[in-house]
Structure 1
Amino acid sequence: MGFYSKLEKWVSGIVDIMLAILIILILVVMGEAIFNIVVQVIPLSSMDTLSSLIEEVATLFILLEIILMLLRYMKEGHHIPVRYLILISMTAILRQLLLSHDGGAQTLFFSVAILILVVVLLILEKIKAFHTASSEPLEQIKQEEH
C-alpha cells in the first residue's frame, strides 16, 4: 500500500469523525428546536407566537435534510448527490417564502427560483444524470439490506 493510499485512508477517517461530530451537533440543535416548538405550542396566544412556531418547524426540516445529506455523503463514499443539494435549496427557499412578508415581487422571485430548481431536477432526471455507474454500489447496498 503506497503513501498516497494510506494518506487518503487517514484523511477519510478524519473527515468521517468530523462529520459524525457535525451530525451530533445538528441533532442537539434539532432537540433544542423541538423543545422550543413544544414550549411555544402550549401558550400559543398570538400571531407572533404562531409565526415563530412556523419558523422553528421550517428550520427543523432544513436541519433534518442536512443530516440526511451528511449520512448519504458518508454512505456513498464521500460524494454528495446533486439531487440533495437541490432539494435542500428548495426547502430553504420555501422556508424563506413562508416567513417573508415583504411583498409580491419578492414572493414572485422566490417562486421562480423554486420553479427553476424543479426544472433542473426534471432535466437531470431526463438525461439520466442520477442513474450513473456511481449509483450501482447504492443499489447493491439496498439489496444487501433486504
Structure 2
Amino acid sequence: MRETWRITSQKAIFEFSKLPAFHIAVPSILQFILNASLIILATVLCILMAKEIIHFVEFIVTSDTPNFQHFLEQILVFFLYFEFISMIVKYFRENYHFPMRYFLYIGITAMIRLIIVDHDDPFNTLLHAFVILILILSYYIINNTPAMKSFNK
C-alpha cells in the first residue's frame, strides 16, 4: 500500500507540475522572496555603511595615536559594503541579473583587506596575492571575451 501511495503521489506531483499556472506562480513567488530578501539585505548594509562613516569621523576627530592599519581596514570594509550595495542596485537595474565583474571586485577588495589585516605569514600573503592575480586575470578574460562582454554589461 505504501508503494501505491508513493506512485500515486509522484504521479500527482508530475500532473501538478504540468499545470501552466504552476510554471508561472512558482518562479514569481520565488522572485518576490529573492527581491524582498535583497531589499532587506541592502537596508542592513546601508545601516552598516553609515556606522562605518561614523567610525571614520570618530577616528579622525578623537584619535590621539592613529592606528592607520586599523583605519585602512575600516576603509576596505566600507568599500565591501559599498560594492555589495551597488551590486544589489545593479541587480534590479539589469532585470534581475548579477554581473560577474561585481563579484570579482568584491573578491579583490576582500583579499586586499585580508592581506592588510593578516600579513604576519609571508607564505599566506603570497597565496593571497596569487588569488588577487587570478581574480584580475578572470576580470581581464571576462572583459576581453566577445560573448561575455554583452552578457556581463
Distance in structure 2 (CA, Å) of the matches to 1:19 and 1:124: 25
Distance in structure 2 (CA, Å) of the matches to 1:40 and 1:34: 10
Match in the other structure for 1:31: 50
Q: Note if 1:14 corresponds to 2:33.
A: yes
Structure 2 unmatched runs, 5+? 1-19
Match of 2:91 among 51, 63, 73: 73
Number of corresponding residues: 134
Per-residue deviation, 1:11: 2.2
CA contact (8 A) 2:108 2:135 kept: yes
SS at match of 1:42: helix
> RMSD over aligned Cα, in angstroms?
2.0
Match in the other structure for 2:135: 117
Match in the other structure for 2:59: 40
Match of 2:82 among 41, 64, 87: 64
Larger Rg: 2
Give the TM-score normalised by structure 2: 0.77
For residue 83 of structure 2, what is the amino acid of its counterpart? E
Distance in structure 1 (CA, Å) of the matches to 2:82 and 2:147: 25
Match in the other structure for 1:4: 23
Structure 1 unmatched runs, 5+? 139-146
SS at match of 1:130: helix
